[in-house]
Amino acid sequence: ARDATVAGGTTLDLQTGATVGLANLDLPVGGQWLLCYCATLSGSCPNDASFSVLVGTLSVLGPTSNNQDRSCTAGKACDLTGFSGLGLSRFDRVRAVSTAGSCGYASRVAAPIFDGEDKPMEYDAGTSTTQFQISSSHLPWAGQWKLCYCVGMAGSCDDNSEFSVLLGKLTVYGPGSNVQHAACKAGQSCVIKVAGYSSMTISTGDMI
């Protein structure tokens, strides 16, 4: 059966030069798929059984899932090791963008989140795992961001359009900012309220 991941699961007509064009939205994730062929000279191609000839394999480099969400704690170093994908390499980059933005269009968020930079994805070929760490100084407060991915072997990773693949969401737990100042009077009771990025990033039991 056809896979809806590639080109929305639609069949593709050969164009001039016996080619098929795929747009960036046709390839939302990395992976491998079989290319199956139906020759219309023998009639129409009404069902899956009509595509009985194997052409070869389509290999798409990049993350194999768009929901590889991760969570961290504000003020603590965070290890994001273990993203899955096909052909990931040390040339790849990850950027954090606003949750209101779209991968491939949005600019990276400003420092100190990720230090305002696109982060390199380290890959250990021996263990076939990704290595990706964020220092505590680059996660000073809570929030939520989209993680957008650039396959470095296919480009230079210096343009918004190259970060077109959604890797997942990064949620950082803790206070929503570091300018929540409080004022109390000596000798009198006082209530200090701490706001998170949302109700989900702080909870009863956290401490000051």
pLDDT digit string, tens, across residues 119-143: 888 877 776 678 788 889 888 888 8
State the pTM of this model.
Answer: 0.83
Task: Tell me what percent of the residues of the chain surpass a pLDDT of 90.
Answer: 38
Tens digit of pLDDT for each residue in 175-187?
888 888 999 999 9
Quote the strand ranges of 42-131, DSSP E.
Answer: 53-60, 62-63, 70-73, 78-79, 85-86, 93-98, 119-120, 122-124, 129-131
